[in-house]
Amino acid sequence: MNITERFLSYVKFDTQSNEEAEGCPSTLKQLVFAEYLKNELVSEGLTEVEMDEHGYIYATLPANIDADVPVVGFIAHMDTSPDCSGADIKPRIVSNYDGKDIVLSEGIVSSTEKFPELLNHIGEDIIVTDGHTLLGADDKAGIAEIVQAMVYLKEHPEVKHGKVRVAFNPDEEIGMGAHLFDVERFGCKFAYTIDGSEVGELEFENFNAASAKIHINGCSVHPGYAKGKMINAGRVATELVQMLPQDETPETTEGYEGFFHLTSIQGGCEQADLSFIIRDHNRAKFERRKERIQELVAVINAKYGDGVAQLNMNDQYYNMREKVEPMMYIIDIAKQAMQEAGVTPRVQAIRGGTDGAQLSFKGLPCPNIFAGGINFHGPYEFCPIQSMEKAMMTVVNICKLVAE
């Protein structure tokens, strides 16, 4: 099985996670894919293949040298984003892409004007969707690349390597992927998540992240007799949103700029609910953003009455940079591995999160490497086959370099 076939077999599984669910995994369908992966790893000859009750998978590629070298790990996540359906995905390969707009389905077009990144892949073979679901390259491309790299190393014993550990986990897309990851059981000195986007991405900085849910308790009264009595929860919710800085949203920021992101709003006169995510690379600015949310809730309660607005806010993960910097040689290894795979490394900060951030704070320094997919979390997602092949060879080269 080549890497394309492997990836296409993976995207048949609907593994969408659910941020409203309790327990891990957040959706039982992730366990179906986990069981498939576990069996595949066994059939491909990996050892110490284990799956726990939450769907976390751990496996080993034994060393083919006697030297005492560090154990390196590679990690990818099984779930796809709640933002877009991951059911009944219909992928299609656009061979030798010609640089023109791609018709995904009737009336649904992936245009180079809207998605100019397509033009970086002219002449390559691109896997696209039919425009009705996401593709799932985030992060099934990463899983395919890791598994294919292990197969490559088994088939090429001339490539010397130490013990290699791989792990696949649920619920990364809802910020919970690393919470039950057993770092001690994994047994690595350092690892890499294969969960980035465009070729060459190498990341060891990410957002500090929190979630905030605000419940608004209104007071519903007949609108003809509501003066001085009604508290319209829906209107209060929109009032709160408008008090946030309008130029500090995902659609107005880039680079190291943080934001407040309203992910959902629902309700009516009696009750309303707001969900936000809060992001910033700078820890002090991150804390100030959380304080701002608390202040706005206090303003609403001062205006409409105590308990009208109720806040539940939780930190999700932190910037891994402070944990990776003392071991910068692992970044150097990744850079060299990319170069040997014909890739120019591009070190940048993640405008998002990765399981590697949480794992770094659990004692496993874990930078992030490109997986090749582009336009994640939506129907215009695509993944060049050549990018997956380069990511796979980057994994192979890291294993080789760690052993040298």
CA angle in degrees (0–180, nearest 5) for 316-251-213: 35
Task: Name the amino acid, one letter, at 403.
Answer: A
Distances (CA, A) of 164 to 9, 173, 308, 397: 24, 25, 54, 12
Angstrom distance (rounded) from CA 311 to CA 308: 10
Phi then psi for 235, rounded to 5 degrees?
Answer: -70, -40
Which residue in 8, 12, 6, 4 sits closest to 44, CA to CA? 6
Angstrom distance (rounded) from CA 201 to CA 207: 16
pTM reported for the whole predicted model: 0.83
Angstrom distance (rounded) from CA 199 to CA 143: 16
Give the number of other CB atoms < 10 A from CB of residue 383: 31
What pLDDT does residue 396 have? 98
Buried b (16+ CB within 10 A) or exposed e, 287-324: eebbebbeebbeebeeebeeebbebeeeebbbbbbebb
What pLDDT does residue 234 have? 96
Name the architecture of domain 208-317.
2-Layer Sandwich (3.30)
Domain assignments of the chain as residue spans, ordered by start = 3-206+319-403, 208-317
HSE-CB at 211 with a 13 A cutoff on CA atoms is 16
273 in catalytic set: no
Which residue in 378, 323, 400, 330 sits closest to 354, CA to CA? 323
Distances (CA, A) of 231 to 235, 270, 359: 8, 8, 44
Q: Are 401 and 354 in contact (CB under 8 A)?
A: no
Reported in sequence order, the residue ranges of 62-162 that DSSP labels E, i.e. its strands, are 72-77, 92-94, 102-105, 108-110, 126-128
Angstrom distance (rounded) from CA 190 to CA 183: 10
What pLDDT does residue 148 have? 98
Stated length of the chain: 404
Active site residue: 79, 173, 355, 381, which one? 79
Which residue in 297, 372, 377 sits closest to 143, CA to CA? 372
In this structure, is the dihedral angle defined by the CA atoms of residues 144, 150, 151 and 152, taken in order, positive or negative? positive
3-state secondary structure of 56: coil
DSSP code per residue over 180-236: T--HHHH--SEEEEEEE-STTEEEEE--EEEEEEEEEE-B---GGG-TTT-B-HHHH
3-state secondary structure of 2: coil
Could you report the average pLDDT of every consecutive run of 10 residues in the chain (404 residues)?
A: 97 96 95 98 98 98 96 97 96 97 96 96 98 97 98 97 98 90 96 95 93 96 91 96 96 95 96 97 96 98 96 92 93 98 94 84 95 96 98 98 96
Kindly give, in sequence order, each residue whose CB lies less than 8 Å from that of residue 18, ignoring residues fewer than 6 positions away: 26, 27, 82, 174
What pLDDT does residue 136 have? 97
Active site residue: 172, 195, 381, 389, which one? 172
CATH of 3-206+319-403, one of 3.30.70.2340, 2.60.34.10, 2.60.40.10, 3.40.630.10: 3.40.630.10
Q: What is the share, in percent, of the chain residues with pLDDT greater than 90?
A: 93
295 in catalytic set: no
DSSP code per residue over 272-322: EEEEEEEEESSHHHHHHHHHHHHHHHHHHHHHH-TTSEEEEEEEEE--THH
What pLDDT does residue 358 have? 86
